Amino acid sequence: MENKNNKQEKRSVKRVQKSLIIQFSVDSGDPLTRKWDVSSIRDISEKGVSFLASGKIVLGNLLQMLIKIPLRPFEWFEVSGKVVAMEESKIKREDNDFNVSLVRVVFVDLKEEQKTLIREYIAWCLLKDGGKK
């Protein structure tokens, strides 16, 4: 599989670029003191997600995530993941600059039902979009 720059694609699974709502929190060990943030997913695959975050997230952090997947619109898809990469950038809004990070997270300890839901969602997206990623 090749990308737009003719470089060899290293990912072993298909991913789709869809804006899904994600709530995420750094796993502090104590669910009662956990602070949640909200963002939009940039892309999702069977192995993980990427999204923009403005809070303090560190490479290697474990995250708890709640994702809204259209195949089950009345449920939150709850999953854990580990931050494996980050790209920092600035977003300019009006007269202010905001520091944000594109956070890449690999899922950990997915149950078979969760894997199946992600596979079904990706297949549905690819079918709906005519096979485009």
Q: In terms of DSSP H, where are the helices of 23-111? A: none
Query: Is 133 within a domain?
Result: no
What is the pLDDT confidence band of residue 2, given thresholds at 50, 70 and 90?
very low
Q: Are strands 15-16 and 96-108 parallel, antiparallel or unpaired?
A: unpaired
Residue 64: pLDDT above 90? yes
Residue 38: pLDDT above 90? yes
CB 104 within 8 A of CB 60: no
Query: Is 47 within a domain?
Result: yes
Query: Is 1 within a domain?
Result: no
Q: Of 77, 90, 37, which is closest to residue 61 (Cα–Cα)?
A: 37
Query: Is 2 within a domain?
Result: no
pLDDT tens for 4-29 read: 444 444 556 777 888 899 999 988 77
pLDDT at site 92: 64
How many separate domains does the chain show?
1
Confidence (pTM): 0.78
DSSP H or E segment with residue 127: helix 112-128
Over residues 44-51, the mean pLDDT reads 94
What is the pLDDT confidence band of residue 42, given thresholds at 50, 70 and 90?
very high
CB 42 within 8 A of CB 104: no
pLDDT tens for 69-119 read: 998 989 999 999 999 999 887 666 677 777 788 999 999 999 999 999 999
- In 3-state terms, what secondary structure has residue 30? coil
User: Residue 115 belongs to what domain range?
Assistant: 15-128
Supply the CATH number for residue 117's domain: 2.40.10.220
- In 3-state terms, what secondary structure has residue 122? helix
